[in-house]
Chains A and B, each alone.
Chain A
């Protein structure tokens, strides 16, 4: 029985919207800010240390990213990162650590469907789109920039 377009359904949709518990945007944003800020602060600490060791700016940046990726991968393995994500929301998703989490989580999850079509294939369910859109947009914008500089 479809009521999808009927006035009854429209009235109901309004009711649902009205009864939805209001999420506290403020507290969510503050938690995202703090979580994301701390991850970046950690990154800056690692980077400062690497620069202090004498690495060049670009190299320090790459090693910092790799360190954070390792840390996030390990925390995902231990089952901690999803808790951080539940607290921090976008604050834990946006940093490169969230990218690492999005690779490790399906890898672990689909291990039970085999090491090839399970783990390895599903590894990219979220990272895949990020890489695809990243590469396509970078190539597009980068070429435009190079051609029309």
Chain B
């Protein structure tokens, strides 16, 4: 059955994020730990720049907590590229057990969810969970060469460049309280430039499951943050919630927080980095400061590939929910 797990023994100890220059110029720019000066970050390819951001974010987690690599039992991380090359190649530099997580843009929530369950189950003491994405590598993987003169659809997202990581352990200022692993949902949306619409049903399904399993209402959380539904996806989600009479005002979308309207990004930020960086550098500090008490993060992922898009298959999506609570 589709369970929601209640956890009592897992905490977020620390968080870190690294973002690209465009994200650094956005409304949350000052909050991120590191804003890299240019998107290639001194490397010879965008792929290398992406993994460097993830590695830097992981190292920052260690630095902030004063842990050594041997204090960490496991790293769980994911990205959007084929064979998970960013996470896998970043892990190459670490003497820590590693498992790559693929959940497309939901990778961060999935990593945190699985890491938390492993700790709650008593299998691991301390886990770092994270995710990364990079605008240029995603464009190359899923769309066109970056220098090609194309107009972006008004529904299109802008894959965010960045990496966000958190340290999960047995004590900390913020507790991980509830986890729901989502089902893969496909409402037949085929438009790869409207991923928000493809992902909204998944966000609804997981949120609905989560609330039903716990007998809760959206108002029971101070904030429900979806990952990267963007403007159109958020509207679609609100319609679906309205039909199920679950409407509430306390919704936000990580992807909509990253850029200002002046940056002409269309539907908002997407990519693994959206929920990872916004949680690590915006939501987590709000929780530690007590400005928010209970936050539900629902990161969505569109589970398609370039091949399935070219074969005109529809876009399946998934969402995973993790509830965080301020301790004390």
Contact = CB atoms under 8 A, between A and B. Distances in A.
Interface of A: 1-5, 8-9, 12-13, 15-16, 19-21, 23, 28, 76, 79, 81-86, 88-89, 92-93, 98, 101-102, 104-106, 108-110, 112, 125-126
Contacts of B154: 20-21, 23
Complex A-B, nearest 8 residue pairs according to Cβ-Cβ distance, in ascending order: A85-B149, A109-B145, A4-B188, A105-B147, A105-B148, A112-B45, A105-B145, A16-B197
Nearest to B234: A19
Nearest to A108: B147
B185 to A, nearest CB: 5
**Which of B147, B148, B231, B240 counts the most A-chain CB atoms under 10 A from its CB?**
B147
**Which of A4, A89, A104, A108 counts the most B-chain CB atoms under 10 A from its CB?**
A4
A114 to B, nearest CB: 11
B152 A106 contact: no
B155 interface: yes
A70 to B, nearest CB: 16
Interface of B: 44-47, 140, 144-155, 183-189, 194, 197, 201, 205, 231-232, 235-236, 239-240, 314
A89 B236 contact: no
Given A12-B201, A21-B154, A76 B147 contact: yes
**Which of A81, A102, A125 counts the most B-chain CB atoms under 10 A from its CB?**
A102
**Which of A8, A16, A83, A125 counts the most B-chain CB atoms under 10 A from its CB?**
A16
A93 B149 contact: yes
B42 to A, nearest CB: 14
B149 A84 contact: yes
Chain A interface main SS type: helix
B232 A81 contact: no
Contacts of A125: 145
A82 B146 contact: yes
A105 B144 CA distance: 9
B145 A108 contact: yes
Given A101-B147, A109-B147, 4 more contacts: A12-B189, A93-B149, A112-B45, A112-B46
B147 A82 contact: yes
A85 B155 contact: no
B317 to A, nearest CB: 10
30 contacts: A1-B184, A1-B185, A1-B205, A3-B188, A4-B186, A4-B188, A5-B188, A8-B187, A9-B187, A12-B240, A13-B187, A13-B188, A19-B232, A20-B194, A21-B231, A21-B232, A76-B147, A81-B149, A85-B150, A86-B151, A86-B152, A92-B149, A98-B149, A101-B148, A102-B148, A105-B148, A109-B140, A109-B147, A112-B47, A125-B145
